[in-house]
């Protein structure tokens, strides 16, 4: 592994890591952690966090990574549900969080911190530095030289290896129990599929509590032996990405959206000649780039122009994004917009989609090279079986399935059938080429009722993703099921729209003020109507065109309960919280006042109020109807 500290990359060899793991394992055993018990780890990607997880697993205990940006109350349920006594906390922020909830979690007896800054005068019972644990582990290992090897030899592939708590879009999160085999089997399947070796370089920058990050930077790291690089901080990820130059890259769509937005902002600030050159070669890339990436032959002229574009635009752009060396890039977590997907492939980045979930240890479907398409998520991985239920739900059989939901047999029975099929709750189908196509969540796929589009299918996530391709739009929540038309609530991208406003000498006092500018509404309206034009030629979803929209007065935030910790929209919660806005959208109003309580980073609460404007958008006659 490598870790960046004070601007310098520090390397840790496998041998040094193995010694550190043994010392931590011995220290934890001496402190009282026993086989089958749980230990939470909370913090950013760091070698000593990974070593702690390995140490916990080495003595038969079970690590539970929690989201480092979660508020203290969010940690109470996982800690109490799993009866956690031991915790690893990266720094003072995480220690304070755990101490804050200690009265609610009285069994939490041992807290070990890695970074001692700010903790010198803390005198809490059971609070100790990780260095103290390592020192005691060294002494125990010296006195019991066979303990570590004996403990490791007792571990079976079928033993519980780790537990991950779901994001909890409804109700309390559920503890997803995985065995060593389910995690490593899927890690190996994914590695074999893309021919990954120990020579790969990976940047670990997403939360370790997210199963995607845990598989790519932990399970696959162990299966392949490649190098995992830990950035210095969240603020330096972009710089670190360029320095590392990963060969294997993984990010949810939101990250790819953010990277594209930053590119578009910089291009709008560029000179006229550079802008014209960029837009010309990008039009060439969009036309021929995906075919080139799929291994199809190009005509002489197209190949020549694309080669020139690669020299002048695409190559420098990949380098600026930190993706010059990327051999395989994956996106997962939620569907990616087709335009966004095509953009990256058109400039020579082998971006592919995968399909999976926490319960399936990620790898269910992967896209083979030269068969990556925006509207599918690939073919079943080795060992995976897929079938489609009568209601369109995807069912999966795989060696990577969860063992159970912890202490929740009723929920386990809902998703795992007696004959081993996992109910994904996703709606989709296998196309003629054997690729899986996901439409949306089963519970979210609906129908328009009434009006000219009565009975038309409505897939909110599809509409939301098409809108989020535009750099000025950060988040979208679409509604329409059981109604006669589709309406959406939009978050602008404050950086992108702020930059756009400043170049037009448009003054604004903050997000709320900028979001309600007439000029901004016109900008967003143009984006909505472009999406409507695209949807009008989609025979299946032409009825999902957006009729009305508004721009929210605040950004949707996980701290306010509007997003999960993996930044997925909690559509039901938002519908309840902003019911007055939904009523206004469908009631034909042109304005609506709203006041919303918000939570600040320091834990304080406040409110944001505004009178929101509501606009109509032009819809288009479906091509089928026009024909």
Q: What is the pLDDT of residues 292-350, one digit of tens each?
A: 998 888 889 999 999 999 999 999 999 999 999 999 999 987 777 777 888 999 999 99
CATH number for position 338: 3.40.50.12780
297, 398: one domain: yes
CA dihedral 382→388→393→397, nearest 10 degrees, is -30
452, 420: one domain: no
pTM for this one?
0.81
Neighbours of 409 (CB within 10 A): 10
Whether the pLDDT of residue 626 is over 50: the answer is: no
pLDDT of residue 169: 54
pLDDT of residue 569: 86
431, 472: one domain: no
pLDDT of residue 588: 93
The mean pLDDT of 598-611, rounded to a whole number, is: 84
**Closest C-alpha to 243, from 321, 345, 330, 350:** 321
pLDDT of residue 568: 81
Last residue of a domain, one of 198, 224, 250: 250
Phi, psi at 13, each rounded to 5° = -80, 165
Contact 261, 495 (CB under 8 A): yes
| Separation between Cα atoms, residue 155 and residue 579, nearest integer Å | 52
471, 421: one domain: no
Whether the pLDDT of residue 267 is over 80: the answer is: yes
Neighbours of 520 (CB within 10 A): 21
pLDDT of residue 512: 94
Which residues, other chains included, contact 337 with Cβ-Cβ below 8 Å and sequence gap of 6+? 253, 257, 465, 466, 468, 469
The mean pLDDT of 69-96, rounded to a whole number, is: 95
Beta strands 446-447; 457-458: pairing state: antiparallel
| Residue in the structure block whose two tokens are 């979690």 | 105
Structure tokens at 430: 């296998």
277, 181: one domain: no
pLDDT of residue 564: 83
Three-class SS of residue 483? coil
| Separation between Cα atoms, residue 341 and residue 247, nearest integer Å | 18
pLDDT of residue 42: 97
Structure tokens at 485: 């038309």
Q: What is the pLDDT of residues 344-400, one digit of tens each?
A: 999 999 999 999 999 999 999 999 998 898 888 999 999 999 999 988 899 999 999
Neighbours of 594 (CB within 10 A): 18
364, 456: one domain: no
315, 410: one domain: yes
Whether the pLDDT of residue 216 is over 60: the answer is: yes
270, 400: one domain: yes
Residue 35 belongs to domain spanning: 2-250
CATH number for position 524: 3.30.300.30
**Closest C-alpha to 424, from 379, 385, 369:** 385
Q: What is the pLDDT of residues 577-604, one digit of tens each?
A: 999 999 999 999 999 999 998 887 767 8
420, 468: one domain: no
pLDDT of residue 141: 96
| Separation between Cα atoms, residue 242 and residue 106, nearest integer Å | 45
Structure tokens at 401: 């399935």
Give percent above pLDDT 90 in the chain: 73
CATH number for position 203: 3.40.50.980
Q: What is the pLDDT of residues 465-491, one digit of tens each?
A: 889 878 899 999 999 999 999 999 999
432, 552: one domain: no
Structure tokens at 463: 């509409």
Better-predicted residue by pLDDT, 13 or 448: 13
Last residue of a domain, one of 201, 220, 250: 250
User: Widest CA span of the chain, in angstroms?
Assistant: 84
Averaged confidence pLDDT in the chain = 92
Of 108-112, 302-306, 444-448, the one with minimum mean pLDDT is 444-448
Whether the pLDDT of residue 627 is over 50: the answer is: no
Give percent above pLDDT 70 in the chain: 98
421, 461: one domain: no
| Separation between Cα atoms, residue 45 and residue 28, nearest integer Å | 20
| Separation between Cα atoms, residue 79 and residue 440, nearest integer Å | 32
Last residue of a domain, one of 411, 441, 471: 441
Structure tokens at 353: 């989609």
Considering its fold, how many domains does the chain have in total?
3
188, 309: one domain: no
Contact 581, 592 (CB under 8 A): yes
Contact 617, 529 (CB under 8 A): yes
**Phi-psi map region of 516: left, alpha, beta (phi>0 left; psi -120 to 50 alpha):** alpha
């Amino acid at each position: 592994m490598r870790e960046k500290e004070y601007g310098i990359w520090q390397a840790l060899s496998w041998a040094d890591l193995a010694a550190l793991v043994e010392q931590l394992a011995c220290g934890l055993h001496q402190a009282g952690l026993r086989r089958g018990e749980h230990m939470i780890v909370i913090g950013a990607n760091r070698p000593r966090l990974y070593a702690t997880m390995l140490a916990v697993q080495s003595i038969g205990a079970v690590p539970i990574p929690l989201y480092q940006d979660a508020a203290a109350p969010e940690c109470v349920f996982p800690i109490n549900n799993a009866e956690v006594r031991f915790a690893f906390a990266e720094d003072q922020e995480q220690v304070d969080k755990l101490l804050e909830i200690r009265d609610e979690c009285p069994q939490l007896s041992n807290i070990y911190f890695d970074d001692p800054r700010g903790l010198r005068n803390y005198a809490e019972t059971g609070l100790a530095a990780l260095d103290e644990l390592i020192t005691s582990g060294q002494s125990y290992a010296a006195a019991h030289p066979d303990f570590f090897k004996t403990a490791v030899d007792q571990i079976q592939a079928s033993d519980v290896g780790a537990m991950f708590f779901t994001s909890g879009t409804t109700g309390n999160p559920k503890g997803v129990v995985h065995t060593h085999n389910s995690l490593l089997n899927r890690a190996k399947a994914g590695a074999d599929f893309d021919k990954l070796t120990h020579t790969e370089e990976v940047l670990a920058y997403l939360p370790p509590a997210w199963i995607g990050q845990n598989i790519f930077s932990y399970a696959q790291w162990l299966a392949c032996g490649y190098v995992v690089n830990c950035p210095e901080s969240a603020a330096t990820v972009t710089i670190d990405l360029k320095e590392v130059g990963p060969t294997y890259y993984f990010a949810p769509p939101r990250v790819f959206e953010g990277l594209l937005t930053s590119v578009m902002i910089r291009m709008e600030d560029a000179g006229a000649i550079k802008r014209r050159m960029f837009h010309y070669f990008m039009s060439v890339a969009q036309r021929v780039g995906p075919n080139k990436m799929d291994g199809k032959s190009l005509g002489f002229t197209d190949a020549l122009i694309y080669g020139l574009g690669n020299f002048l635009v695409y190559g420098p752009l990949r380098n600026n994004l930190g993706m010059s060396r990327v051999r395989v890039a994956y996106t997962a977590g939620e569907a990616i917009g087709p335009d966004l997907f095509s953009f990256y492939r058109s400039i020579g980045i082998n971006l592919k989609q995968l399909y999976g979930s926490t319960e399936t240890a990620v790898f269910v479907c992967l896209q083979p090279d030269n068969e990556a398409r925006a509207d599918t998520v690939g073919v079943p991985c080795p060992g995976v079986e897929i079938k489609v239920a009568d209601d369109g739900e995807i069912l999966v059989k795989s060696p990577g399935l969860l063992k159970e939901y912890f202490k929740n047999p009723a929920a386990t029975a809902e998703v795992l059938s007696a004959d081993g099929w996992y109910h994904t709750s996703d709606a989709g189908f296998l196309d003629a080429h054997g690729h899986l196509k996901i439409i949306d969540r089963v519970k979210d796929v609906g129908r328009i009722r009434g009006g000219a589009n009565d009975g038309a299918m409505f897939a909110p996530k599809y509409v939301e993703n098409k809108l989020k391709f535009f750099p000025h739009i950060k988040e979208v929540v679409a509604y329409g099921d059981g109604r006669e038309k589709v309406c959406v609530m939009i978050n602008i991208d404050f950086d992108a729209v702020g930059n756009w406003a400043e170049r037009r000498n448009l003054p604004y006092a903050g997000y709320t003020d900028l979001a309600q500018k007439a000029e901004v509404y016109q900008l967003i309206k143009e984006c909505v109507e472009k999406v409507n034009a695209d949807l009008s030629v989609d025979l299946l979803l032409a009825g999902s065109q957006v009729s009305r929209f508004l721009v929210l007065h605040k950004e949707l935030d996980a701290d306010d309960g509007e997003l999960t910790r993996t930044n997925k929209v909690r559509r039901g919660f938002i519908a309840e919280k902003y019911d007055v806005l939904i009523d206004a959208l469908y009631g034909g109003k042109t304005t609506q006042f709203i006041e919303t309580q918000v939570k600040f980073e320091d834990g304080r609460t406040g409110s944001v109020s505004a009178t929101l404007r509501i606009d109509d958008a032009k819809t288009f006659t479906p091509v089928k109807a026009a024909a």
